[in-house]
């Protein structure tokens, strides 16, 4: 039983991989513990969003992911 966590953009560089499987169930404190201090620090930034099962969460601290869910960590978008 696992949750697939996708690290997008610069978060993948910080995490050292583009994805990771984390035991389910997964909540906000569990996610912060599982991703390590550097990524956790970035996740606390209000510009970083989280999608769970294809839906962007209005409040990322309400994360509740179950077995088979995909959680995407979405860094701020820039460009022109």
- Give the CATH number, domain containing residue 17: 3.10.20.30
In a domain, 79, yes or no: no
- Total count of domains within the chain: 1
Is the backbone of residue 64 left (phi > 0), alpha (psi -120 to 50) or beta? beta
List beta partners, residue 70. Answer: 4
Q: What confidence score (pLDDT) does residue 39 get?
A: 97
In a domain, 30, yes or no: yes
pTM score: 0.93
* Residue 78 banded pLDDT, cuts 50, 70, 90: low
**Distance, CA of 69 to CA of 54 (rounded, Å):** 9
Peptide bond into 25 cis (omega under 30): yes
**What's the pLDDT tens digit per position in 27-46?**
999 999 999 999 999 999 99
Over 80: is that where the pLDDT of 77 sits?
no
Q: How far is CA 66 from the centre of its chain?
A: 14
């Amino acid at each position: 039983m696992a949750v697939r966590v996708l690290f997008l953009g610069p978060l993948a560089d910080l995490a050292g991989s583009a994805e990771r499987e984390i035991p389910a169930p997964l909540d906000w404190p569990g996610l912060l513990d599982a991703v390590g201090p550097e990524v956790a620090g970035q996740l606390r930034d209000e510009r970083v969003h989280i999608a769970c099962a294809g839906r962007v969460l209005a409040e990322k601290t309400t994360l509740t992911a179950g077995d088979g869910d995909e959680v995407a960590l979405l860094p701020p978008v820039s460009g022109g």
